[in-house]
């Protein structure tokens, strides 16, 4: 079977990765439509060695489309995703537009592949910093029951989009030429700096990014009472987000017991040696499909506590890859989940376009 695909936001940081991954993972693509703003209409992008013209995203862009990937910002999703869904496409939306909508499944295949079955033509992809965290938390939650999570993030500039990559590149150029370093997109210079602010501020002093990590995690893990607090920080890294995570569990937990769980869990790789370099960093996990954990240790500040470090390529696992559900990797996840869902798995496979 071939699927007619539309990519809304094809010229953006995540949109480009959709194309890379559709190609690299040999996704069965029939017709391909690349959509962006009027600014990019008429330019070309390559897919499998062939040039494709970028078209302006419009309400009638989705005739004959089977799957529409959206990564063009929340406002565009709100405006155009309903048109794509109405035209019969399954929308996989990367923005925050529909994530907390009770009729829209919020899916991370390693955590809640079953949720996809409830879709009414729109499936939401969580925020990137949420995705890597829940991949690590879910199997631990199943074994030990997590009651509290504290997290501090170290988020790469590509999370903001193509324009932020360009801003940091420009600052590098200015610095190496001895010019004054300027900034436009971020409120302060990001090069050689940190900015403890991701997405917009809310009334209580948290940012929207921090509250996405709270609400989305509860929805994906089906744990409405889990206590979660986040501090999200932008760092001068081009790609891949890192997180320091502290958890408190109902049952006693040890580093060895957690590592034994992660060894079997889908989507997780462990780099956990107590020596210089014995941990994952953003540079080395870039373009990897997995979520990495390391620095696993007892949290000595509470009972039943564990502290660890978690890194993933947020453009792949945190966005485009998490959306590409029809591949052998999903089968691996489904094998893991077969233990829990038994025969239901067939329905899930169908919903994931596998059968
Ligand atoms: P364009 O390149 O034409 O501006 P990023 O996350 O890297 O900032 O990318 C955002 C994506 O969303 C780009 O593909 C961008 O297209 C697209 N986009 C932004 N505004 C609009 C709009 N008004 N209509 C359609 N696509 C848009
Ligand atoms: C960042 N996590 O790193 C953001 C990008 O809600 O999908 C993704 C925002 C979102 O800035």
Complex prediction ipTM: 0.97
Report the alpha-carbon distance of residue 205 to residue 290 in Å, rounded. 33
| Same fold across 3-126+343-351 and 130-318 | no
pLDDT for res 326: 46
Superfamily of domain 130-318: Dihydrodipicolinate Reductase; domain 2 (3.30.360.10)
Which of the residues 128, 232, 310, 333 is marked catalytic?
Answer: 128
pLDDT for res 3: 85
Q: Which of 199, 231, 242 to mutate to test the pocket of ligand 2 (most atoms within 8 A of CB)?
A: 199
Find the 252 Cα to ligand 2 centroid distance in Å. Answer: 33
DSSP 8-class letter at 157: G
pLDDT for res 341: 47
Find the 339 Cα to ligand 2 centroid distance in Å. Answer: 33
pLDDT for res 188: 98
> Would you tell me which CATH number, out of the four given (3.20.20.70, 3.90.10.10, 3.40.50.720, 2.130.10.10), belongs to the domain 3-126+343-351?
3.40.50.720
Task: For ligand 2, say whether the CB of 96 is within 6 Å of any of its atoms.
Answer: yes
pLDDT for res 173: 97
pLDDT for res 335: 61
The domain segmentation of the chain, as residue ranges, is 3-126+343-351, 130-318
Task: For ligand 2, say whether the CB of 129 is within 6 Å of any of its atoms.
Answer: yes
Report the alpha-carbon distance of residue 322 to residue 325 in Å, rounded. 7
Average pLDDT, the chain: 91
Contact of 133 with 246, CB cutoff 8 Å: no
Strand partners, 294: 309
Task: For ligand 2, say whether the CB of 158 is within 6 Å of any of its atoms.
Answer: no
* Nearest CA owner, ligand 1 atom 24: 37
Question: How far apart, in Å, are the Cα atoms of 136 and each of 86, 146, 217, 221, 293?
Answer: 35, 12, 11, 11, 8
Find the 45 Cα to ligand 2 centroid distance in Å. Answer: 24
Report the alpha-carbon distance of residue 62 to residue 7 in Å, rounded. 10
Name the stretches of the chain with pLDDT < 50.
326-327, 340-341, 353-355
CB neighbours (10 Å) of residue 124? Answer: 27
pLDDT for res 338: 57
**Is 177 exposed, middle or buried, given 0-12, 13-18 or 19+ CB atoms closer than 10 A?**
exposed
pLDDT for res 39: 98
């Amino acid at each position: 079977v071939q699927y007619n695909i539309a990519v809304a936001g094809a010229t953006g940081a995540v949109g480009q990765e959709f194309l890379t991954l559709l190609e690299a993972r040999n996704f069965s693509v029939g017709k391909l439509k690349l959509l962006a703003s009027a600014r990019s209409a008429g330019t070309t992008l390559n897919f499998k060695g062939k040039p494709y013209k970028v078209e302006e995203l419009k309400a009638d862009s989705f005739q004959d489309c089977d799957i529409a990937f959206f990564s063009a910002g929340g406002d565009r999703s709100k405006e155009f995703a309903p048109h794509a869904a109405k035209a019969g496409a399954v929308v996989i939306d990367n923005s925050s537009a529909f994530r907390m909508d009770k009729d829209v499944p919020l899916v991370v295949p390693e955590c809640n592949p079953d949720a996809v079955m409830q879709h009414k033509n729109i499936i939401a992809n969580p925020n990137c910093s949420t995705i890597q965290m829940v991949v690590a938390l879910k199997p631990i939650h199943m074994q030990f029951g997590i009651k509290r999570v504290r997290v501090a993030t170290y988020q790469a500039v590509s999370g903001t989009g193509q324009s932020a990559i360009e801003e940091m590149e420009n600052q590098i150029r200015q610095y190496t030429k001895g010019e004054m370093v300027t900034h436009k997109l971020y409120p302060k210079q990001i090069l050689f700096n940190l900015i403890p602010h991701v997405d917009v501020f809310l009334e209580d002093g948290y940012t929207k990014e921090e509250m996405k990590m709270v609400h989305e995690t509860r929805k994906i893990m089906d744990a409405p009472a889990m206590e979660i607090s986040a501090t999200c920080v932008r760092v001068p890294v081009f790609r891949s987000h890192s997180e320091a995570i502290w958890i408190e569990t109902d049952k006693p937990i040890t580093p060895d017991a957690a590592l034994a769980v992660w060894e079997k869990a889908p989507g997780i790789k462990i780099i956990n040696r107590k020596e210089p370099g014995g941990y994952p960093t953003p540079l080395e996990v870039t373009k990897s499909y997995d979520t990495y954990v390391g620095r696993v240790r007892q949290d000595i500040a509470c009972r039943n506590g564990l502290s660890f470090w978690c890194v993933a390529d947020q453009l792949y696992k945190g966005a485009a890859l998490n959306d590409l559900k029809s591949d052998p990797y999903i089968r691996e996840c489904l094998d893991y989940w077969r233990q829990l869902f038994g025969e239901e798995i067939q329905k899930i496979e169908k919903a994931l376009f596998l059968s």
